[in-house]
Every structure is written in C-alpha cells, then in structure tokens.
C-alpha cells in the first residue's frame, strides 16, 4: 500500500495543538485526547499500524512539522513487524524555533523474508530540541533476520549543518557476526539527543553515550533481546546531562512543585 501522511503541530497559548493531521491506511495517526491530554503542554500523537504493515509493496511517508515553540511526542503503540517483501518507510521531521519533538516508536522487528528500508530525516532550528529513538530487532525469537537498511540524518540550520548521518544494516550474515559491527547481537537500539547540555562521553558494558561533533549526543546499545537492549539504552540516555535535567524538572512539576518551589527547596539545602 502507498500512503502519505502529514502532521502539523502549533503552539497556541500554553498548549501545543494538532493543526493538520492526514493519514491513510496502513498508517494511522491518533492524537491523545481527554483530561490528561489537555493538561499536558505537549501534544501526543500515536502511530498506529491499521493494517498488517510493513508488508511487501508498502511505501509509507510521513511528514511532521512542529511549529515555533510547539511540543510533540510521537509514539508507537505496538512493535512494527516487517514482513515478507520490499517495503519502505520515510519520515521527514521539521522543527521550527524553540520546538521540541520526541519520536519514541516501539521496536521494529525485521522478520526472515523482509526487505525493509527506512529513511529518517530531521531538520531543525538551532534552538529546537529533538529526541529520536530507533530499536531494531533482527528476526522474531529463533528466526534469522531479513534485510533491513535504514538511514538517519539529523541536520540543524534548515538542514545545512549535518549533525549525524548513519546507515544501519541488518541481515548480512558477515556484518551481523562481525565483532566490529553487531558482534552477533540481535538487537540494536539508538537514541539521538539534541536536548540541552551534552557533557562528557559515558559507557557501560553494552552501551555508550557519546557527544557528536557539532551538537547533540548519540546513545547506542546492543543486546541479545529487546528488553535488555532497551534497559541498556535507557541507562545511556539517563547519563545525558541535558536530558537528565529536563526529566527531573518534569518529575517535580508532575509532583505539583512549581519552579519557584524547586528553587527554594534547593536554596534551603545546606
């Protein structure tokens, strides 16, 4: 199936509002509604596969535009399972001044007969913030992975200044086994963070967080299964100073403490 989807989010007062939303099968965009959604300054939109997808012949494109100072969280609700045949997914994200986007899809499972291609292009303003997660699983349990090739490009300054450009490949036995590439691991998780201060590099047994050359950081984790890889990736992301700072602010806000309250608490601490 060939599908073109479009999503535009704008800032209105204190809130971010979905201004334009067009999607067609096999990809559905479902905005979160209800009381919780109205209290949240960010708009949340779920990516839902409304048919068996990605499947051979699927060609899906999604363009997302986050307007000045708007906040968007784009999440998946279930793992994408790439099935038999050639399929492609293209995502184009554009972020204006002061905009933020968190792209947090569920893992993509590349099954044995799949030939799945993805392109994730993000162009953002110098003052915008982005968090992009990708988790690739090579085959279902006990299954050899099919073919996968995915390119991620992140550039600031209306796309003129590249920050990260990488192509990951699954399904080539030599690369999969090579201790330079995947070292026999079935799962690869990455998270790009252009989110405040970048700080020092950090590493663990199966993860690393490294500052990129111009701006931002890349968290990488590998593992035998999705659960352990996601856990390792979360450790890498937690080591990012910019992200850690903003998530602790969010926790305090959700506990009902205003920024002033936070400040006075810190000041009172001897």
Partner 1 sequence: MGLTSLVLADARFPGGGHVHSGGVEEAVARGLVQDVETLRGFLLGRLRTAGLVAAAFAAAAARLAARGTDARGTDARGTDARGTDTDAWAAQASPAGAWAAQASVAGAWAAQASRAWGALDAEFDARTPSQAQREASRAQGRGTLRAVRAAWPSPVYDELGPRPHHALLVGAVCGIAGEPPEEAARCVAYLAVSGPASAAVRLLGLDPFAVNAVLIHLEPALDAVVETAVHTAAHTAVTEDLPAPGAPVLDLLAQAHVAHRGRLRLFAS
- Binding positions for partner 1, rule: CB under 8 A: 151, 153, 161-169, 174-175, 177-183, 185, 188, 190, 201-203, 206-208, 210-214, 218, 220, 222
- H/E stretch holding 248 reads helix 241-254
Q: Is 184 exposed, middle or buried (0-12, 13-18, 19+ CB in 10 A)?
A: exposed
Q: Is 177 or 261 the residue whose CB approaches partner 1 more closely? A: 177
Cα distances (angstroms) measured from residue 221 to each of 75, 76, 146: 20, 20, 21
CA distance 168 to 178: 14
The two structure tokens encoding residue 175:
């690369």
Q: Taking the complex as a whole, how short is the minimal distance between the CB of residue 245 and partner 1, in angstroms?
A: 21
The two structure tokens encoding residue 76:
């998946």
Q: Is 40 or 172 the residue whose CB approaches partner 1 more closely? A: 172
Q: Is 36 or 180 the residue whose CB approaches partner 1 more closely? A: 180
Q: Taking the complex as a whole, how short is the minimal distance between the CB of residue 242 and partner 1, in angstroms?
A: 16
Q: Taking the complex as a whole, how short is the minimal distance between the CB of residue 127 and partner 1, in angstroms?
A: 20
Q: Taking the complex as a whole, how short is the minimal distance between the CB of residue 147 and partner 1, in angstroms?
A: 14
Q: Is 82 or 154 the residue whose CB approaches partner 1 more closely? A: 154
Q: Which of 42, 188, 45 is nearest to 104 (CA)?
A: 45
Q: Is 162 or 196 the residue whose CB approaches partner 1 more closely? A: 162
Q: Evaluate whether 79 touches 105 at the Cβ level (below 8 Å).
A: no
Q: Taking the complex as a whole, how short is the minimal distance between the CB of residue 103 and partner 1, in angstroms?
A: 18
Q: Is 8 or 243 the residue whose CB approaches partner 1 more closely? A: 243
* DSSP 8-state class, residue 214: S
Q: Taking the complex as a whole, how short is the minimal distance between the CB of residue 39 and partner 1, in angstroms?
A: 37
Q: Evaluate whether 207 touches 232 at the Cβ level (below 8 Å).
A: yes
End-to-end CA distance of the chain: 62
């Amino acid at each position: 199936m060939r599908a073109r989807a479009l999503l535009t989010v704008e800032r209105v007062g204190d809130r971010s509002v979905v201004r334009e939303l067009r999607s067609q099968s096999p990809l559905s965009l479902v905005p979160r509604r209800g009381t919780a959604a109205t209290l949240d300054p960010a708009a949340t939109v779920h990516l839902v596969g409304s048919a068996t997808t990605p499947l051979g012949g699927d060609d899906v494109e999604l363009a997302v535009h986050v307007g000045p100072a708007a906040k968007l969280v784009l999440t998946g609700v279930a793992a994408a399972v790439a099935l038999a045949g050639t399929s492609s997914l293209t995502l184009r994200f554009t972020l204006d001044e002061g905009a933020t986007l968190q792209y947090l899809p569920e893992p993509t499972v590349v099954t044995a007969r799949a030939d799945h291609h993805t392109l994730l292009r993000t162009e953002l303003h110098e003052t915008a913030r982005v968090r992009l997660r990708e988790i690739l699983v090579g085959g279902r349990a006990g299954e050899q992975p099919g073919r996968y090739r995915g390119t991620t490009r992140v550039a600031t300054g209306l796309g003129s200044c590249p920050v990260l450009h990488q192509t990951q490949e699954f399904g080539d036995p030599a690369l999969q086994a090579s201790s330079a590439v995947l070292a026999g691991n079935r799962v690869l998780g990455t998270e790009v963070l252009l989110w405040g201060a970048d700080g020092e590099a950090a590493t663990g047994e199966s993860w690393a967080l490294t500052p990129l050359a111009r701006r931002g950081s890349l968290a990488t984790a590998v593992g035998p299964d999705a659960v352990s890889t996601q856990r390792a990736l979360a450790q890498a992301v937690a080591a990012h100073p910019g992200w850690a700072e903003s998530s602790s602010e969010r926790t305090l806000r959700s506990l009902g403490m205003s920024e002033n309250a936070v400040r006075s608490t810190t000041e009172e601490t001897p």
